[in-house]
Structure 1
């Protein structure tokens, strides 16, 4: 249960992701520096060490949303989808992710959609795992949104997609805090279909906002629903030079 919005910029991009979870689930930890191989990254984490979003010093950002509209396959031993991104965060480019995902042991994981943003290639690539087969979808380097919901995925996609289009018309997405306002919105009302989601059993529990330019990653994080007025914390990560990678 998540909403992810991508907003390209002249030099880099901005991206925001609401994490929606059952109220009984343990809270995630805020973004912290981690090293994968020789690659530095910033990512929040779940109690088991997995994550739903992360960005590395190659300006590669990966975000994972569950794919509820595809039926889960019964398996004897499921492994968490939270381990997918950490296994890939040392990748310097899209091709590296492609090569790593092909042999990955995905058969033990329920369906998901992995969205990769590669600033230096100006590429947005989606890997769709339906529980049996992995498909790759190339997206344009353009404003986009991805939506998942365990309550009513088609309904949430329609409602939040309409909010996205409405906000795009009302305000230039390149201006001000467009992403933050979108991810705190309660249209048509604060409920199962709003971008900032509120249900009796589940809710938006955090919001991640990643901004990448030529030199730096800025990771802003709200540990709570973005509508709540909770404080945002910020972490930064220096990017490696494209002409002189480590």
Structure 2
């Protein structure tokens, strides 16, 4: 479960992500530098399966994965899938030199045993790309900015998406910029609940907040292991952009 938004600017982009999880799951490890095929990338690591939900590499390509087919809907119940963790698939794509290269690599994978998911891929100078696996088919949308924010929830899915999008419209009505996106991610609307971007309900809540900033010189990855409303100190890692 996640809420993901992004913003393009002249030299790059910013990507924000609330990760919502059941409290029975193990805590994730904070972001670290990993390598794949000679490419360095920054990513936190899931405590249960060793995968991830968000990455950013030296080329300035960032990926973020949400559970479920959040645009078209799943055609195959997730309970029937027994393949590898979706987060491990994300790590296989983490070294992609472009957003479309990540989507094309994903299209060559055998996903038949993988539960539905939605992947957003960003790089400087281009609209976001979204790939959605619904359990049967993979759809790739190369101009996916109109679908922002992306929202996943296993709890009352459509109502959660509807309320968070309403909150997004409220928070960004005056101006779509980085501060307004952050206010959206930390917001509780009229009261913290399962439906708000900063999510709190019995047995589950927003467990971390990630903020990736990419410009023409560097990649900056801020990570806090708590809900945005809890103001827990985080850490920031940086990589220089590869030419």
Q: Given the two structures, how large is their TM-score scaled by the length of structure 2?
A: 0.92
Instruction: Give the whole-Å Cα distance in 2 for the aligned partners of 1:198 and 1:82.
Output: 23
Q: How far has the Cα of 1:143 moved from its partner?
A: 8.7
Query: Do the aligned partners of residues 95 and 144 (structure 1) sit closer, same or farther apart at CA in structure 2, a change above 3 Å counting?
Result: closer
Structure 2, unaligned stretches of length 5 or more? none
3-state SS in 1 of match to 2:91: coil
Q: Structure 1 residue 123 and structure 2 residue 124: aligned?
A: no
Query: Do the aligned partners of residues 65 and 230 (structure 1) sit closer, same or farther apart at CA in structure 2, a change above 3 Å counting?
Result: same
Choose between structure 1 and 2: higher helix proportion: 2
Say whether the 8 Å CA contact 2:12–2:123 is kept in structure 1.
no
Partner of 2:136: 132
Partner of 2:239: 237
Q: How far has the Cα of 1:119 moved from its partner?
A: 1.4
Q: How far has the Cα of 1:30 moved from its partner?
A: 1.0
Structure 1, unaligned stretches of length 5 or more? 242-246
3-state SS in 2 of match to 1:139: coil
Say whether the 8 Å CA contact 2:172–2:181 is kept in structure 1.
no
Matches of residues 141-156 of structure 1 in structure 2 within 5 Å? Answer: 144-156=148-160
Query: Do the aligned partners of residues 140 and 76 (structure 1) sit closer, same or farther apart at CA in structure 2, a change above 3 Å counting?
Result: closer
Say whether the 8 Å CA contact 1:7–1:142 is kept in structure 2.
no
Q: Given the two structures, how large is their TM-score scaled by the length of structure 1?
A: 0.91
How much is the aligned-residue C-alpha RMSD, in angstroms? 1.8
Partner of 2:213: 211
Instruction: Give the whole-Å Cα distance in 1 for the aligned partners of 2:146 and 2:80.
Output: 37
Say whether the 8 Å CA contact 2:130–2:144 is kept in structure 1.
no
Q: Structure 1 residue 189 and structure 2 residue 191: aligned?
A: yes
The one of 99, 103, 106 aligned to 1:98: 103
Q: State the 4+ residue runs in structure 1 displaced beyond 3 angstroms.
A: 73-77, 140-143
